[in-house]
Amino acid sequence: MNDRPDIHHRRTIHIPGNEKQPVIVQTLKLSDIQARVFSPGLKPDGPSMKSRTFNPPMFEVPFLSEDELIQVNRFKALKKQMEWICGRFAMKRLAGDILDLSIPLDQIRIDYREKGAPYLTQFPEIPVSLSHSGDYTAAAITQDRQMTLGIDIEKIGNMPDQGFMKTAFTKEEIQHMPADARSVFRHWTMKEAFLKYLGLGFNESLHHVAVIKDQIYHCEKIQAIHIWSRFLNDPYVVSLVYGRKNNREATRRGLPGFGSMACQRRINISEL
């Protein structure tokens, strides 16, 4: 694996109690992926918004199956196509290396669960997560089948307006969050990574989750999870949430529809 240039963009996050099966995080620029996977002279025109019809001769590195080519050609915007292609490459390359697979990349299958979480079709018990924003894609994997994880990457923009802040964060979060864009976007990635960790994405209310002092609360209860967060050299921030699968399932059982109304209560900030 050391001879792959991807290795310079990988980070190893050790799991407490399991040093032999860490979480591996991969971050790659879309432009770097495009330079590697497309045949010379066939790289798509980035500024164009019109979708392209992709076919095998366009790829110097074959990593998409026939079904995946059909799927990517259904997207109506080139931006969406490129994000999807690059995310597929990052996840397949990472899985192929970490799981030491001897099969070609185009035979590694990725599908999505009911709420949109990705998984490896041949290895459904292997925890994975995927995210993209702007010029970057991020992927995460661990061989510890008792773990679950979620990753999110975001480009840091201007300080959001009050409308976004009130929609995305609780009053308690806003009170404890430094009022600068880097902090706001970092908190947002941790919150979205946690929603992916739950396997629910935006099917769960943003106000049921609070990130306060680098701790995540869900329905008033502090979560037994781990957070890893880093700023990249470019104006991006990536956050990973990971924890034991049984802790995640216990949290999900406390959601409305699973027999509990706990999420209707607000966090009492005086108890923090």
Q: Where is pLDDT greater, at 113 or 202?
A: 113
pLDDT confidence of residue 202: 67
**Does residue 170 sit in the same domain as residue 116?**
no
**Does residue 132 sit in the same domain as residue 218?**
no
pLDDT confidence of residue 64: 96
Domain final residue, candidates 143, 177, 209: 143
How far is Cα 91 from Cα 6, in angstroms, rounded to an integer? 12
State the DSSP code for 116. Answer: S
How far is Cα 158 from Cα 174, in angstroms, rounded to an integer? 16
**Does residue 224 sit in the same domain as residue 134?**
no
Domain count, the chain: 2
pLDDT confidence of residue 236: 96
Look up the CATH number of the domain holding residue 205. 3.90.470.20
**Does residue 60 sit in the same domain as residue 175?**
no
> In this model, does residue 114 exceed pLDDT 90?
no
pLDDT tens, residue by residue, 47-78: 556 888 999 999 998 999 999 999 999 999 99
**Does residue 253 sit in the same domain as residue 213?**
yes
**Does residue 192 sit in the same domain as residue 227?**
yes
How far is Cα 118 from Cα 80, in angstroms, rounded to an integer? 17
Q: What is the pTM (predicted TM-score) of this model? A: 0.87
201 — pLDDT class (breaks 50, 70, 90): low
How far is Cα 179 from Cα 211, in angstroms, rounded to an integer? 14
**Does residue 182 sit in the same domain as residue 262?**
yes
**Does residue 24 sit in the same domain as residue 129?**
yes
**Does residue 157 sit in the same domain as residue 138?**
no
Domain final residue, candidates 143, 176, 197: 143
If DSSP states are collapsed to H, E and C, what string results for 169-209?
A: CCHHHHHHCCCCHHHHHHHHHHHHHHHHHHCCHHHCCHHHE
**Does residue 268 sit in the same domain as residue 157?**
yes
Which tokens in the block code for residue 197? 């960790």
Helix, strand or coil for residue 60? Answer: coil
Mean pLDDT in residue range 77-90: 93
Domain final residue, candidates 103, 126, 143: 143
How far is Cα 33 from Cα 29, in angstroms, rounded to an integer? 7
User: 62 and 104 in contact (C-beta within 8 Å)?
Assistant: yes
> In this model, does residue 266 exceed pLDDT 90?
no
Domain carrying residue 98: 1-143
Which tokens in the block code for residue 266? 């607000």
> In this model, does residue 44 exceed pLDDT 80?
no
**Does residue 32 sit in the same domain as residue 161?**
no
**Does residue 105 sit in the same domain as residue 126?**
yes
